[in-house]
Structure 1
Amino acid sequence: MDKAEANRQFARCMREHGVDVPDPGPDGNLQFDAGAAGDRNKAVAAASACQRYLPNGGELQNLSPEQLEQARAFAKCMREHGIDMPDPDPNTGLSAILKGGIDFNSPEFQAATQACKGVVQR
């Protein structure tokens, strides 16, 4: 299964679990806005139920040094804007953001995300 199809299945699964996630764009990438997902607990539960559709079961692996540095820079930027976001795990690239107490719907999170979105290059 190619990336675009896997991402379409992931988005469909998320919607089936009550989280409004649009289908991937023309490039096959998901355009997921954590703040628009609604109830954080519902989004975390849905992501857990649907992660089987993502490459490597949703585990990020083999990040390039540049990708890991971007993830660190994003986390640092978010902290500078008042969000207590941990640095990513150097082995997987994942952070504890979904397991933490971050309120994705808060105005502070939304403002920090907007301020920091330029840190990550696509």
Structure 2
Amino acid sequence: MSTSSNVKRKLSVLLIAPALLLAFTACASSPGGSSPSAGGPSPRATSASDWRVAFAGCMRDQGIDIPDPGTGGNSGTSIDSSNQDALLAAAKKCQAQLGPMPALSQAEQDAQNAQLQKAMLAAAKCLRDNGVDVADPKPGETLKVPDTAPQDIRQKCGADGAQGATTSLGG
């Protein structure tokens, strides 16, 4: 079913990518410690949006097929996380080159929260369409999937790790 695969892709990007990015920004070296590239140190992004675009480009340079972050809600492309060692190594290298991600602006936080809310509502609908009784999460709430929900339906709807996902990412 294309609707559930779209939901799964959106949740995978919204749940995996920010976690990956935050994991490496937390381990950042000192602000001046960029790695040299062919033309000298990598320029520092001045916004979280610019940093994410630069990070995606760097990941592609490292052989990881990752899309540029979407605008206007166009972020429903999945990241192949089958080789997590390569994914993490590339992310670490790119984070070292780019430095820590700048803090999200309020507008970026609001847009990210709106995208996650939309994806969680779609996952809740998919779960209900497949016989799992779940309520729509309100903004700031967790998508609560019953422990009794079959794993195949959780996967189909992209709600595998939904218990820890909230619609308030920015603070």
The structure showing larger relative contact order (alpha-carbon pairs under 8 Å, at least 6 residues apart) is 2
Q: Do they fold alike, i.e. is TM over 0.5?
A: no
Q: Give the TM-score taking structure 1 as reference length.
A: 0.44
Larger radius of gyration: 2
